[in-house]
Structure 1
C-alpha cells in the first residue's frame, strides 16, 4: 500500500488482516490500539496510534496461529509499537481498537510513477479519516475532470496523455469530503517525483 518509511509514516504503522484491509480501501486509516486481558499487557495500559500501511496476507496452510485469516481482525505491528503496549515474549495479545482521525503536517502528497501513457499516482499524507475512496485528475489541456481507478492500496491509475502538462487532483475520502489540489504538478514533472498540495483534510 505504502512504502511506510519513504512516505513519512515511520514505525507507527501496521499491516492489516483481510477482515480489516477491505481490498486496500483501508490503506491510510488511523487506529488507536490498546492491549487488554493479557498478563503480557504493559501495566500502565498504554495506547498507540498507528496508520494502516500494508496488507498482512492470510495463510491457509496453517491450522494454528491463523491470526491473519478471515474473519480474524489482526494488526501486525512494528516491534517498537508492539513493545509500547505489551511484553516481547507475548508475541500476540488481545486488543481493543478504534478508528481515530489522522493528523498530518502539510498538504496532500502525490508520487508520480508509471510509463508514458500509463500513470500511477500514490496519494499519501492524507489527514482526517485517512483513507481515499476516489481520485480524479485534470491535465491543463482539458476542462474536464477524469476518473482514476484504484490499482492497489492508495495507488491510483490513469491511461492517457499527460506528459508536459500541469496536473490537478480531486481527492475524496471515505467520509465524503473532497480536497482539490489545483496545478499541484508543474509541466516539467518527471516520474519518481513527489509533489505536495497546499490543502489537507
Structure 2
C-alpha cells in the first residue's frame, strides 16, 4: 500500500506540472490535494453518458456547463447536501481483476447524488448507503480505469484542485424579485459554501443555499449590473467576480465571469 501511495503521489505532481506548462485552464492558489483513501466505484448509463445529464447539482447539460463525461454521482457522505457539488476527485482502480494493468487515473467532478437504496444491503446493491464512500461514475469515466463488466471495483481516491477553462459560469433563473443562480465551472476547491450578490445600486446581499449548486436572493435587482462573491466550502478562499451581468440581464441566460482571489 505504501508503494502504491508513493506512485500515485508522484503521478499527481507530474500531472500538475504538465497542466501548468500547457496552460490547461485556470485554478486557484489555495486548494491542496488531500491524502489518498479507499472507496468503491460503479457506473451508470451508457457510453453516451446521456443519463448523467442534469442531476442533483443542477448543472443541466454537462457538456455546455464544462464538465463533459468525466463526472460521477456521489454517495451522501461525499455529496454533503449539495456542498460537494463541483468538487474534483482523482481515482485509480486497485486490487481487482477488472482494473487495467497499468492502473491509469481519471479526474472526475461530482455532479449528482447517488441516493441510498435501503432495500438493498450496503454490500450488495446499496452501494451508496451511508456511511459508505462511493462513486457512481459516468460510464466513459469508469471505462478509463476499469473494465465495464466488472460492475464495481475498489478505488483509491483523493480530492484535487479543479482546473477549469473560461471562468465561473452563472446561470440565472427566477424573476425581478427573486434571483436563483446556478454556479458552475468553479476552479480550485470547485465547491461553494456561501455566496453574495451586489447590484450597482446595492451593497453585498447574502444569498441562501437553495439546492445542489444553486443560491438565491429575494431582492429587486432588475436594471442593475450584478457582481458576485463566493466562498469555497473546503478551501475557504473568497472569489469575487465584478460586473458579471449587465443592467439588462435576463433569466434563462448564462454569464461567464473572471474572478479575483482574496
What band does the TM-score fall into relative to the shorter chain? over 0.9
The gaps in structure 2 that reach 5 residues or longer are: 1-56
What TM-score do the two structures reach when normalised by structure 1? 0.95
Counterpart in 2 of 1:162? Answer: 221
Matched, 1:172 2:217: no
Q: Say which of 4, 21, 25 aligns to 2:79.
A: 21
Q: Cα RMSD between the aligned structures?
A: 1.2
Aligned length: 200
Instruction: Answer 1 or 2: which has greater helix percent.
Output: 2
The gaps in structure 1 that reach 5 residues or longer are: none
Give the 5 Å matches for 1:133-144.
133-142=193-202, 144=203
Q: Say which of 51, 73, 77 aligns to 2:109.
A: 51
- Is this contact kept in 1: 2:76–2:129, CA < 8 A? yes
Once residues 183 and 144 of structure 2 are traced to their aligned partners in structure 1, the CA distance between those partners, rounded to angstroms, is 29
Counterpart in 1 of 2:11? Answer: none
Corresponding residue SS for 1:148 = strand
CA shift, 1:106, in A, is 2.1
Counterpart in 1 of 2:33? Answer: none
Give the 5 Å matches for 1:38-77.
38-63=96-121, 64-77=124-137
Corresponding residue SS for 1:171 = strand
CA shift, 1:74, in A, is 0.7
Q: Say which of 205, 209, 218 aligns to 1:146.
A: 205
Counterpart in 1 of 2:22? Answer: none
- Is this contact kept in 2: 1:30–1:130, CA < 8 A? yes
How big is each residue's C-alpha offset from its partner over 1:168-192, in whole Å with a ceiling of 9 and x where there is no partner? 1011112121111111110111111
Report which stretch shifted further, 2-11 or 33-42: 2-11
